[in-house]
Every structure is written in structure tokens, then in C-alpha cells.
């Protein structure tokens, strides 16, 4: 299809043109032609970002690198977000060294702040267990003016150390944050608290909690409840019930600024025989919820934390208490509940949460909660239920599954040899401009051939090639074999001509 060039070209208009191209190589051709057609025109950062994203998401990494080099040579101002997306693309295909190389070259670009690139790469290194490299990156980059904040980076390093059962070193970093010109945030406290409690360093954990009372808990923020619960649960697990109750009283008084009636009569005898660990922990959780300053944030934090730990019943009680106090549960609570139910295989209950519980409190299901459900359904191989939920989701206004969800479902249908359903799903994907990978195309074309659906297979082959994706030899073999079948001698000349012209 020929391009209708405007009289005056702007980067915004060019971005719109290249986004509409199915073939990333055609988009690149248009991108490169623009300068020759309009001598006074210059690409800016956003149009480079668009072209880089198109090439990266379609797997054209060689061409993407060339455009990145061109952006560097043009010296146009570019945002940190461009490098963040490329670093993630490299990491996704296992090219961590390429990601590191790009990050070290950022000073050669016209970019004045690369804090998020720094944090993104550091997180990737931590997840890849490259702790020495992560430490070296921090030492090299954290003191430069281009990295505006080091708190997130330090939190990542402390998290990595805690995962390695070195909460002592994490605590040391935490205590030196002031010297780094940083101020610990709630994530800093939670990370170190969880690490210390996991390593049974309860004395240090208690001192850490007391330090919160004069730092981040001065106003009795309800979100701190998760940090307090971490220590109290650890003390109970260690059998220190009396100490847990004593600290609970201080938390209610100093940390949560609770009314006096909430902490004046705390007595273990209120929870059965006072020896059952889970009973005591539930009693403490209820005391924390009742004693916290009633707010959506405090209930949210407690419920989500309980769901994340798989304590679905307790989290449900928190929601009940929340609603009694007149607060409305947010999407994040339902997302956590759906994820928790999926983990224990309760898919029917997860569907009920979306279709009934959310509607009951006038919290309309969004794309994110459906995506959590659909991806877990795909993992257990229930394609029929996934398709039903996807259809219900598509009928919701402004509620649309993401490309990853569609791709997972498409692959699952092909594995189950439901090629006709996969073909129909692909039609819905094309309407949303969600183009599948070459592997998905190959599987589906071969599958359609095996069902004797050669015409649909050729149509998909055309679509695949129009996007610059090359079929495998096995695809050509499947097509040629199916057309040589005696029953296929009746096929129309139009179909043969289509195949010959590809």
C-alpha cells in the first residue's frame, strides 16, 4: 500500500504512519525515507522511540540497534523511557550483556536523566542473581548527577541480600542510607524487616520497628500495618507471645495512634488458651485492623498482604470490616484475591470474585484483573473457560486483554490442536493490531493444513509474510503436501495463484 505523504511532515504525523504498518521493515523504510523526502525535517525523540519499540517488539533486534545508533548520531534529545524499554527487551530474550552495554553507552546520547534505566538494569541483575555485577553497577553509577534518586536501587540491593539470608548486611546498608544522602521509605523498612524476621534476628527487627515510630510513622499511617504485622507474626512463630502483645500495645499507641480503648486491655486470654500460634496471630491481626486509623490505605495494605501470603479467609474478614466502616474495596484488593485463589486452583471462585463480588460493591472489573485470571487459566490448560471469560471481558466497556494474554491463549489452543478456534482468535487479535509471533503463525498454518483448511492456511501465510515474518521450511512442506493430495485437485486456480505469488 502506497503512503500518502503530507505537504509538511511532522514527527507526530510520521509516528502515526509507522504505527499503522503491519510490517516492521516497511515501517523502517518509511522512517528512513522521511529525511530524503523532506530535507528540512528531523526526527525527534518520540518518533525514534516509536520506531525502536516497533522493531524491538517484532524481534528485529539488528535493525533496532541501527536505529539506536542513528539516534545517538543525530544527538536529538531522548527520554530515559526509551532505554528502559530496550533494556527490558534485551533481558526478555536473554541478552543481559547487550542491556549492560547499552546502559554504559547512555552518556553518549542526549539524555540528561537515566534513573529508571539504572533501576531497571539493577533489578534485572538482581533477578538474574548477578549480585557482584549489580554491586559494581551501583558503585559506578549511583553517585552521578544523572541518577536522581538512589533509594530504589538501595532497596533492590537490600532485597537481594535478604533473599541470600544476609539481612545483617542489608541492615548495615539501611543504617548507612543517611550517609548516602537518602531517606529510607516504607519499602526500605518492609524489605529489611522481612529479611531480619526470616533470619530470626528478632532483636534487631524490634529495634528497627522502634526506629519507625520517630521516622515514617509519626502521623500514624495505616499502610505501616504490614511492617508491624511482619514482626509480630515472627515473634509468635518463635513462641514469644508475651513480647508480641507488649510490642502490639506500643504499636497501637505510638505507631498507629490508636484510641486508648484499643490498647489498654490487651490480654492473651481473649484468644482461646493463649497457646495456639495461628489463633494468637489472628487475634493480633484483628487488633491491628481495629486499632489503625480507619482508611482505605490501611485496609488495602492489610488485605493485600494477607492474600499474598495465601491467608484468604483472614483477608476476607478484613474486607468485611472495611465495608462495615464504610470504606469501598479498590481494584488492587480484588486483583490480589483473584491471584491468591488462582494459586490454590480455585478458578471458579476467582471467576465469582470478578463477576459477582466486584459488581456487588460497584467496582467494575478492569483489564488487569481479567488478565490475572486468564493467564492463570492458561497455565492450567482450561482453554474453554478462558475463551468464555475472554468473551465476557470483551463485552465490558474499556476492558481489553493485553497482547501477552492473547498470545498465551493462541499457543495453548494450537497445543490442544484446536486450530479453528485459534484461527478465530487470531481474527480478534488482528482487529486490535496484536500480531502473533512467527512461531505462532507456523504452528497455526501447519495445523490448518492438517485439517484440510488450505485456503485459510494460505491467507495466514500471506498475512505472515506481509508482516516481514519468514515461515519455516516445515510450513512450506505442509502446504505443498496438502495441495498435492488427490482431493485437493478441485481447489480453485485463485488459491494456487495466491500461493505461487508469495
pLDDT tens-digit map of 317-350 = 888 888 888 888 888 999 999 999 988 888 888 8
- Alpha-carbon Rg for the chain, nearest whole angstrom, is 28
Cβ atoms 154, 188 nearer than 8 A: yes
- Tell me how far apart the alpha carbons of residues 237 and 50 are, in angstroms, rounded to a whole number: 52
CB atoms within 10 A of CB 108: 10
Q: Which residues contact 186 (CB under 8 A, 6 or more apart)?
A: 216, 223, 224, 227
7 secondary structure, DSSP code = S
The residue behind cell 485463485 is 494
- Tell me how far apart the alpha carbons of residues 450 and 468 are, in angstroms, rounded to a whole number: 24
- Tell me how far apart the alpha carbons of residues 435 and 73 are, in angstroms, rounded to a whole number: 31
179 secondary structure, DSSP code = G
Per DSSP, what are the bridge partners of residue 77?
A: 110
Q: Please report, in tens digits, the pLDDT of each residue of the chain (502 residues total).
A: 567 888 889 999 999 999 988 889 999 999 999 988 998 899 999 999 999 999 998 888 999 999 999 999 998 899 999 999 999 999 988 999 999 999 999 999 998 888 899 999 999 999 888 888 888 888 888 777 677 778 888 999 999 999 999 999 999 999 888 777 788 888 999 999 999 999 999 999 999 998 888 776 655 566 788 899 999 999 999 988 889 888 888 888 877 776 666 665 666 666 655 567 888 888 888 888 777 666 788 888 889 989 998 989 989 988 888 888 888 888 899 999 999 998 888 888 888 888 888 888 888 877 788 778 877 777 666 667 777 777 776 666 556 667 777 887 888 888 888 888 888 888 888 877 788 888 888 888 888 888 888 888 888 888 888 887 878 888 787 777 776 664 555 554 555 555 555 5
Amino acid at each position: 500500500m502506497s503512503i500518502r505523504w503530507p505537504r509538511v511532515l511532522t514527527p507526530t504525523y510520521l509516528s502515526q504512519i509507522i504505527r499503522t504498518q503491519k510490517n516492521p521493515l516497511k515501517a523502517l523504510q518509511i522512517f528512513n525515507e522521511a529525511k530524503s523526502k523532506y530535507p528540512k525535517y528531523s526526527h525527534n525523540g518520540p518518533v525514534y522511540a516509536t520506531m525502536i519499540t516497533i522493531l524491538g517488539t517484532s524481534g528485529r533486534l539488528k535493525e533496532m540497534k541501527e536505529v539506536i545508533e542513528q539516534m545517538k548520531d543525530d544527538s536529538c534529545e531522548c527520554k530515559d523511557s526509551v532505554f528502559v524499554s530496550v533494556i527490558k527487551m534485551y533481558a526478555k530474550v536473554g541478552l543481559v550483556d547487550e542491556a549492560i552495554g547499552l546502559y554504559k553507552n547512555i552518556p553518549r546520547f542526549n539524555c540528561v536523566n537515566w534513573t529508571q534505566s539504572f533501576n531497571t538494569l539493577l533489578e534485572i541483575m538482581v533477578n538474574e542473581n548477578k549480585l557482584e555485577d549489580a554491586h559494581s553497577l551501583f558503585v559506578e553509577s549511583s553517585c552521578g548527577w544523572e541518577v536522581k534518586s538512589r533509594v530504589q536501587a538501595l532497596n533492590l540491593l537490600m532485597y537481594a541480600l535478604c533473599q541470600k539470608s544476609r539481612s545483617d548486611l542489608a541492615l548495615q546498608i539501611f543504617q548507612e542510607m543517611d550517609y548516602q544522602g537518602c531517606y529510607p521509605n516504607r519499602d526500605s523498612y518492609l524489605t529489611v524487616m522481612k529479611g531480619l524476621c526470616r533470619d530470626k534476628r528478632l532483636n534487631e527487627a524490634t529495634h528497627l520497628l522502634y526506629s519507625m515510630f520517630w521516622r515514617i510513622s509519626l502521623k500514624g499511617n495505616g499502610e505501616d500495618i504490614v511492617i508491624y504485622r511482619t514482626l509480630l507474626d515472627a515473634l509468635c512463630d518463635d513462641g514469644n507471645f508475651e513480647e508480641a502483645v507488649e510490642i502490639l500495645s506500643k504499636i497501637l499507641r505510638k505507631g498507629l495512634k490508636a484510641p486508648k480503648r484499643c490498647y489498654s486491655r490487651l490480654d492473651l486470654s481473649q484468644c482461646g488458651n493463649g497457646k495456639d500460634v495461628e489463633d494468637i496471630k489472628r487475634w493480633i491481626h484483628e487488633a491491628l485492623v481495629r486499632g489503625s486509623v480507619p482508611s482505605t490505605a490501611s485496609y488495602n495494605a492489610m488485605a493485600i498482604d494477607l492474600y499474598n501470603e495465601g491467608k484468604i479467609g483472614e483477608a476476607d474478614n478484613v474486607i468485611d470490616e472495611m465495608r462495615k466502616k464504610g470504606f469501598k474495596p479498590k481494584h488492587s484488593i480484588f486483583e490480589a484475591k483473584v491471584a491468591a485463589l488462582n494459586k490454590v486452583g480455585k478458578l471458579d471462585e476467582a471467576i465469582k470474585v470478578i463477576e459477582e463480588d466486584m459488581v456487588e460493591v460497584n467496582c467494575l472489573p478492569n483489564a488487569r484483573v481479567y488478565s490475572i485470571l486468564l493467564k492463570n487459566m492458561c497455565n492450567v490448560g482450561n482453554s474453554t473457560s478462558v475463551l468464555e471469560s475472554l468473551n465476557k471481558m470483551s463485552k465490558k466497556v474499556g476492558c481489553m486483554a493485553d497482547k501477552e494474554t492473547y498470545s498465551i491463549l493462541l499457543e495453548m489452543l494450537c497445543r490442544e490442536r484446536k486450530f479453528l478456534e485459534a484461527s478465530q482468535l487470531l481474527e480478534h487479535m488482528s482487529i486490535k493490531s496484536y500480531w502473533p509471533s512467527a512461531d505462532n503463525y507456523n504452528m497455526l498454518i501447519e495445523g490448518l493444513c492438517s485439517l484440510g483448511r488450505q485456503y485459510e492456511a494460505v491467507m495466514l501465510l500471506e498475512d505472515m509474510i506481509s508482516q516481514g515474518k519468514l515461515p519455516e521450511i516445515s510450513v512450506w512442506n505442509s502446504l505443498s503436501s496438502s495441495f498435492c493430495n488427490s482431493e485437493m485437485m478441485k481447489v480453485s486456480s485463485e488459491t494456487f495463484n495466491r500461493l505461487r505469488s508469495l
